[in-house]
Amino acid sequence: MPGGSKDIVVTSPPYNLGIHYLTYDDTSSRAEYLTWCRVWMTEILRVLSDGGSFFLNVGASPKEPLFPHQMALLACECGWKLQNTFHWVKSISVPDPKGEDGDFVSVGHFKPINSKRFVNDCHEYVFHLTKTGNVPLERLALGVPYQDKSNIARWGHTGGRDKRCRGNVWFVPYETIQRRSTDRPHPATFPVELARNCLKIAGANAQTRVMDPFLGIGSSALAAYFEGVRSFTGYDIDAEYVAVAKARLAEAAGKTDESAPKAAKEA
């Protein structure tokens, strides 16, 4: 692949935690795994454009809490600059504004941990890596309204717009499914909306060239489709996962979806 030929990479590699994939063996030694990661991290650095963005989703296990940070440090050793760290919140419990004092409401999904030592793990990391650390972002592409509307006039940088930067905490729950075997036939996926967030804040458009070297069942491909991206490249060593990804794209293309830009419908 030519150097500088991609603009955005959104991916989530296997975590080497013994997850059962159809083809890939997720049980390498830590040294072997990190050596392998160094290879593909360096290759992504080569194929990404100078002003491009690499979004690396990494989670942890209770017994390996430093693993995500180890991956971020390894990326920096390969030449990347860690520009932003986003916290992907899968589930959260907050005070219920409509309830009594002390009432909480819980939203989202997580995998329960049966342990006396560890709490349920409800979040993962998305590391935003660039070549220089100075890549501009479309901060308001994920903007949210001001709670206190007086801030719109108080702060000159608003330009009169009722929108502020959301920050680096993204609540993106998994969609509710009925059966994993048919609705989500992959043991480690991320929501399409998480990848869409990455593409939006990086300013993706029809001309943007997007890649995912660990495609799985195609969540990043669907995200690119819905964001109007015309050029997407995805890789996976498992033919069955690729087939599912293609089927998901075909299903999306066959539906009338007003959230999909015109460029995506014509792609």
pLDDT, one tens digit per residue, over 14-67 is 988 767 666 767 678 889 999 999 999 999 999 999 999 999 999 988 888 999
Q: Which of 192, 198, 252, 204 is nearest to 228 (CA)?
A: 204
pLDDT of residue 186: 56
Q: Which amino acid is at 257?
A: D
Q: For the chain, how far is it from start to end, CA to CA, in angstroms?
A: 22
Tokens of residue 146, six digits: 């001001």
Angle at 178 between CA 177 and CA 182, to 5 degrees: 85
Q: Which amino acid is at 185?
A: P
Q: Using only C-alpha atoms, what is the Rg of the chain? A: 19
Asked if 196 and 232 count as a contact pair (C-beta separation under 8 A), the reply is: no
What's this model's pTM, rounded to 2 decimal places? 0.88
pLDDT of residue 22: 67
Residue-by-residue pLDDT tens, the chain, 267 positions:
999 999 999 999 998 876 766 676 767 888 999 999 999 999 999 999 999 999 999 998 888 899 999 999 999 999 999 999 999 999 999 988 888 888 898 999 888 888 999 999 999 999 999 999 999 999 999 999 988 888 888 887 888 888 899 999 999 998 865 555 555 555 568 899 999 999 999 999 999 999 999 999 999 999 999 999 999 999 999 999 999 999 999 999 987 455 444 444 333
Give the Cα separation of 26 and 33 in Å (integer).
9
pLDDT of residue 184: 53
Domains and CATH numbers, the chain: 6-91+121-266 (3.40.50.150)
Give the Cα separation of 197 and 186 in Å (integer).
21
Asked if 75 and 82 count as a contact pair (C-beta separation under 8 A), the reply is: yes
Residue 171 C-alpha from the chain's centroid: 12
Q: Which of 54, 55, 115, 130 is nearest to 88 (CA)?
A: 55
Give the Cα separation of 180 and 196 in Å (integer).
22
Q: Which of 137, 106, 111 is nearest to 124 (CA)?
A: 111
Mean pLDDT of the chain: 88
Residue 177's CB is within 10 A of a number of other CB atoms, namely 11
Asked if 160 and 168 count as a contact pair (C-beta separation under 8 A), the reply is: no
Asked if 225 and 260 count as a contact pair (C-beta separation under 8 A), the reply is: yes
Residue partners of 92: CB distance under 8 A and separation at least 6: 106, 107, 108, 122, 171
